[in-house]
C-alpha cells in the first residue's frame, strides 16, 4: 500500500497482518480519486470503516482540508495512527473509535457536514440502505456532497432512496464503487 499522488506521494503505508481488515487496492483508490478530481481540494472528507486509513491519508495528500477517520476495530485504529505518523501528518484529521452508526449519529448531532464520504464496510456487510439514509437524512451530506461506497460485485446496494440516488457505478474485477448524491 502506498500514497499515489500529492504531498505524500510514494509513502509506503503499513497494512493489516492477521486482521479482518481489507484495504482498498491502489488501483481502485486511484480510480476513486481520479473521479473525485479537483473537488477534493480544500474539502472535508470522511473515511468510514477506515481500516489502515489509506484512503483518508490519500485525501489529505491531495489537498483535503480535513479528514475524519471512523474505525471500530482496535487493530485498524492502531494502523491509522501508525500510518499518519509514517507520513508525518500532525493535523487536519480526527479519528473516531466507534461503530459507524454511532459515530455518524453523533456527528449529525454536532452539525457536522462533509463534502465527500468514502464508506468501505466489510464485503459481507448488509445494511447499506441504513448507512446511506443516515448520511443523507441527518444533514451529514450537503446538496453538493458525494457519498461513495466500495462493495463487492454481489452486494445488494440500493439504486436510490427517498432523498438520494446512485449517479455512477464503477467496476473493477469483483469490486465496485457506487457514487451517490442527492436527487435533483
Residue 176: strand pairing partners: 151, 171
Predicted pLDDT at 37: 94
Instruction: Check residue 19 and give its pLDDT.
Output: 56
Quick one: pLDDT at residue 21? 65
Q: Quick one: 61 exposed, middle or buried, by C-beta within 10 A (0-12, 13-18, 19+)?
A: buried
pLDDT digit string, tens, across residues 26-39? 899 999 999 999 99
Residues with pLDDT less than 70, the chain:
18-21
CA distances from 76 to 14, 20, 53 (A): 11, 9, 8
| pTM of this structure | 0.95
9 domain residue, yes or no: no
- Per-residue confidence (pLDDT) for residue 16, from 0 to 100: 79
The C-alpha cell that represents 18 in the structure block? 492477521
Q: Is residue 163 part of a domain?
A: yes
Give the count of domains, the chain.
Answer: 1
The string of pLDDT tens digits covering residues 88-106 is 999 999 999 999 999 999 9
Inside any domain, residue 140: yes
- Give the CATH number, domain containing residue 138: 3.40.50.150
Q: Are 164 and 136 a contacting pair, CB within 8 Å? A: yes
Q: Which domain holds residue 133?
A: 26-182
Amino acid at each position: 500500500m502506498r500514497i499515489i499522488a500529492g504531498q505524500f506521494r510514494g509513502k509506503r503505508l503499513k497494512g493489516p497482518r492477521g486482521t479482518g481488515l481489507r484495504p482498498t487496492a491502489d488501483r481502485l483508490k486511484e480510480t476513486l480519486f481520479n473521479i473525485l478530481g479537483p473537488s477534493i481540494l480544500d474539502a472535508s472528507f470522511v473515511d468510514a470503516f477506515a481500516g489502515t486509513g489509506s484512503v483518508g491519508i490519500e485525501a489529505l495528500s491531495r489537498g483535503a482540508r480535513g479528514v475524519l477517520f471512523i474505525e471500530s476495530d482496535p487493530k485498524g485504529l492502531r494502523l491509522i495512527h501508525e500510518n499518519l505518523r509514517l507520513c508525518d501528518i500532525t493535523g487536519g484529521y480526527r479519528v473516531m473509535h466507534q461503530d459507524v452508526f454511532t459515530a455518524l449519529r453523533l456527528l449529525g448531532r454536532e452539525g457536522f457536514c462533509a463534502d465527500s464520504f468514502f464508506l468501505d464496510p466489510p464485503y459481507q456487510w448488509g445494511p447499506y440502505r441504513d448507512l446511506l439514509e443516515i448520511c443523507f437524512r441527518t444533514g451529514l451530506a450537503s446538496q453538493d456532497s458525494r457519498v461513495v461506497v466500495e462493495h463487492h460485485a454481489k452486494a445488494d446496494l440500493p439504486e436510490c432512496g427517498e432523498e438520494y440516488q446512485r449517479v455512477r457505478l464503477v467496476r473493477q474485477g469483483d469490486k465496485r464503487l457506487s457514487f451517490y448524491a442527492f436527487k435533483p
